[in-house]
Copies of this chain bind each other. A is one copy, B any other.
């Protein structure tokens, strides 16, 4: 017993402060549960969710039969031939349920911090103190760590115990709401810091919650024992620790700082030491929107660069949906691939580029316009080419596309000296967004291309974006040969890439009857006009 000793009244003085009430929520066998909610006939069967060769999770029926997370499909079917496998390669449904959970939790606090799709930390300190009366209960909801009776637990002098108990009541209420309103069972951990709450939540899974009090802290860490269970300690840290003979939490607690100093800087050493004692003074972060939106797709190996476009297009179409749902305009694009390098090793690589929001013509929904899609696809291919350039043989087994630097409003204009920063303007606040492409049939009005090409680009795009595929294809044909603007040298014009011609035609403003003597100047003028969109 290394926790502070109780005084004569049985009250302890804690080492760590604990004025907060932190709940960690974790959805039970998340992907599997979602699939069961979507198809209730699965409820009494062993269900696994697979991604290619991997069973990423399974319901608890399956787990009883030996299925574990990220188990190879082969082994899984071996262990449990009756296992019903659902394909979960497209995570869109899980993303949607995750969003519902987080929204609900935000009713209780601004401090809702997501971790992956199915976990959330919530700092309910304020809610608990402001709803103290309605959360008062004589019974502690859920389980207490170590199955203790509350009476047998050392009380804390700071009075946090009662707050934590109210936190448990609240956790129960929230979990019931999640079940009633969203249909998912969850676990929760209730304590005074994020680390402890996270360690507690799976303690009595599934569909349960666990609370703990400060006096139980050493017992918890001793119980957990496994270093890898401590969030923040991953493979690399684990290996380093074992290189100085530290393999358990207890060993870490007792280890010499001088040992840790050999492999970590001082700050890291102290942080690890703290974690081993269950000490964590990090705050639950305020809720923030996600900073990137991406889709990855493992494929059967492709062996020619020419096959990339098709594969990228599939991925792009998937990520486009998410982008449109999100509504923000991305200004950064990253392509990832997995491939065999010239040494025969399978490796991952990625290239990134800034993109201008102008690509989306004011509304990210325009990504479904064939021309916009094509432009982005070209950028993806450019990025891919950068990676495959030095390759002797192309052997790609995965494509990923991720959009980042998502900005709330359309902001035109590249940055000046920071050429790659094509939009980042802190606090920028101009421009209207065009309306989303709706599913309602828009109309069959004939699009007069002449009129159209005279509209300012924004308006034109707004018009175009309200018409559907057939029209859009027609619009694409617009940008062909016969429509070389009359102030352009047809030779020059034809030599320009499609994406440029497209922009050009949509911006050529006047007949321009001027006579220009020099061909060079004519070319200059043409380019200049194009560049001005």
Q: Are A528 and B286 in contact (CB-based, < 8 A)?
A: no
The residue from B274, B496, B514, B524 contacting A257, defined by CB atoms under 8 A apart: B496
Most buried by B among A1, A416, A509, A529: A416
Per-position binary interface string of chain A over residues 501-529, scored 1 when its CB falls under 8 Å from any chain B CB and 0 otherwise:
00000000110001000001101110111
A257-B500, A285-B425 provided; 12 other pairs, C-beta below 8 A? A15-B528, A195-B416, A218-B524, A253-B528, A257-B496, A266-B499, A267-B355, A271-B419, A279-B528, A280-B414, A283-B425, A283-B428
A sample of 14 cross-chain residue pairs with beta-carbon separation below 8 angstroms, ordered by A number, consists of: A16-B532, A218-B524, A254-B520, A254-B524, A267-B353, A267-B379, A271-B414, A277-B528, A277-B531, A279-B528, A279-B531, A281-B412, A283-B425, A286-B428
Which 6 A-B pairs rank lowest in CB-CB distance, beginning with the nearest? A15-B532, A282-B416, A281-B413, A2-B524, A5-B514, A2-B525
Q: Are A273 and B531 in contact (CB-based, < 8 A)?
A: yes
The interface residues of chain B lying within 8 Å CB-to-CB of A254 are 520, 523-524, 527
Q: Are B285 and A426 in contact (CB-based, < 8 A)?
A: yes
List which A349-391 residues lie within 8 A (CB) of chain B: 353-356, 378-379, 382, 386
List which A250-280 residues lie within 8 A (CB) of chain B: 253-254, 256-258, 265-268, 270-271, 273-274, 277, 279-280
Q: Are B529 and A15 in contact (CB-based, < 8 A)?
A: yes
The smallest C-beta distance from A339 to any residue of chain B, in angstroms, reads 20
Q: Are B285 and A232 in contact (CB-based, < 8 A)?
A: no
**In the complex, A509→B115 CA distance in Å?**
36
The interface residues of chain B lying within 8 Å CB-to-CB of A354 are 267
A427 at the interface (CB under 8 A from B): yes
**In the complex, A5→B514 CA distance in Å?**
7
A446 at the interface (CB under 8 A from B): no
A78 at the interface (CB under 8 A from B): no
Query: Could you tell me how many residues of chain A have their Cβ less than 8 Å away from some Cβ of chain B?
Result: 75
The interface residues of chain B lying within 8 Å CB-to-CB of A496 are 257
The interface residues of chain B lying within 8 Å CB-to-CB of A470 are none
The interface residues of chain B lying within 8 Å CB-to-CB of A218 are 524
**In the complex, A395→B187 CA distance in Å?**
58
The interface residues of chain B lying within 8 Å CB-to-CB of A266 are 378-379, 382, 497, 499
| Chain B residue nearest in CB terms to A5 | B514
**In the complex, A422→B1 CA distance in Å?**
31
| Chain B residue nearest in CB terms to A193 | B416
**In the complex, A464→B413 CA distance in Å?**
51
Q: Are A524 and B13 in contact (CB-based, < 8 A)?
A: no
Q: Are B253 and A288 in contact (CB-based, < 8 A)?
A: no
**In the complex, A527→B529 CA distance in Å?**
71
The smallest C-beta distance from A491 to any residue of chain B, in angstroms, reads 12
A231 at the interface (CB under 8 A from B): yes
Q: Are B231 and A417 in contact (CB-based, < 8 A)?
A: yes
The interface residues of chain B lying within 8 Å CB-to-CB of A15 are 528-529, 531-532
A415 at the interface (CB under 8 A from B): yes
The residue from B281, B417, B521 contacting A232, defined by CB atoms under 8 A apart: B417
A50 at the interface (CB under 8 A from B): no
| Chain B residue nearest in CB terms to A115 | B417
| Chain B residue nearest in CB terms to A385 | B265
A416/B280 contact (C-beta < 8 A), A354-B267, A426-B288, A521-B1 known: yes
A194 at the interface (CB under 8 A from B): yes
**In the complex, A497→B267 CA distance in Å?**
13
The interface residues of chain B lying within 8 Å CB-to-CB of A416 are 113, 121, 194-195, 231-232, 280, 282
List which A1-41 residues lie within 8 A (CB) of chain B: 1-2, 5, 13, 15-17
The smallest C-beta distance from A439 to any residue of chain B, in angstroms, reads 33
A510/B13 contact (C-beta < 8 A), A353-B265, A382-B265, A413-B282 known: yes
**In the complex, A394→B386 CA distance in Å?**
38
Q: Are B2 and A270 in contact (CB-based, < 8 A)?
A: no
A497/B257 contact (C-beta < 8 A), A2-B525, A281-B412 known: yes
The interface residues of chain B lying within 8 Å CB-to-CB of A525 are 2
**In the complex, A354→B353 CA distance in Å?**
27
The residue from B113, B425, B427, B527 contacting A273, defined by CB atoms under 8 A apart: B527
**In the complex, A195→B416 CA distance in Å?**
8
The interface residues of chain B lying within 8 Å CB-to-CB of A256 are 495
| Chain B residue nearest in CB terms to A255 | B527
The residue from B253, B288, B428 contacting A527, defined by CB atoms under 8 A apart: B253
**In the complex, A219→B378 CA distance in Å?**
35
Most buried by B among A231, A356, A419: A419
Most buried by B among A13, A17, A266, A267: A267
The smallest C-beta distance from A517 to any residue of chain B, in angstroms, reads 10
A426/B257 contact (C-beta < 8 A), A15-B528, A16-B532 known: no
Q: Are A253 and B378 in contact (CB-based, < 8 A)?
A: no
Q: Are B521 and A2 in contact (CB-based, < 8 A)?
A: yes
A427/B271 contact (C-beta < 8 A), A257-B497, A265-B353, A527-B253 known: no
The interface residues of chain B lying within 8 Å CB-to-CB of A422 are 267
